[in-house]
Amino acid sequence: MIVYPEDRIVIARGKYSTLGSERREHIERVAKIANTMQQHLLLALNGVQEKPTKNREHLAGLRACLGNFENAWNRIDELLAEMEPLKVEAWDGKDD
């Protein structure tokens, strides 16, 4: 028979897990944004070498990506701040 911890611990673990899942989603989002930025950078670099220059529209793409990157990063930091006290309650602060 399984002996479950107290309800407050089970709830803390569930919340921690839910927040961790969202964090992983945002990390994947950041990776996709980075790949898109890399494509914009390459096209912009190629365009700046042309006479006359071209592909200036990729600067706007880079700006948009950077804003999304920063938003995702900020959300990851918020999630980590929410997860830290739950970690203490759920696992006595042990690394997961």
Tell whether 22 is covered by a domain: yes
Q: Which residue has the tokens 């996709």?
A: 32
The pLDDT-based confidence of 94 (bands split at 50, 70, 90) is low
In a domain, 96, yes or no: no
Q: Averaged over 12-32, what is the pLDDT?
A: 97
Print the domain residue range for 78.
7-88
Domain count, the chain: 1
Residue 93's pLDDT is 62
Distance (Å, whole) CA 79 – CA 58: 31
- Evaluate whether residue 70 is within a structural domain: yes
Quickly list DSSP for 52-83: S---THHHHHHHHHHHHHHHHHHHHHHHHHHH
User: How confident is the model over 34-89, as pLDDT tens digits?
Assistant: 999 999 999 999 999 999 999 999 999 999 999 999 999 999 999 999 999 999 99
Residue 69 falls inside a structural domain: yes
Residue 95 forms part of a structural domain: no
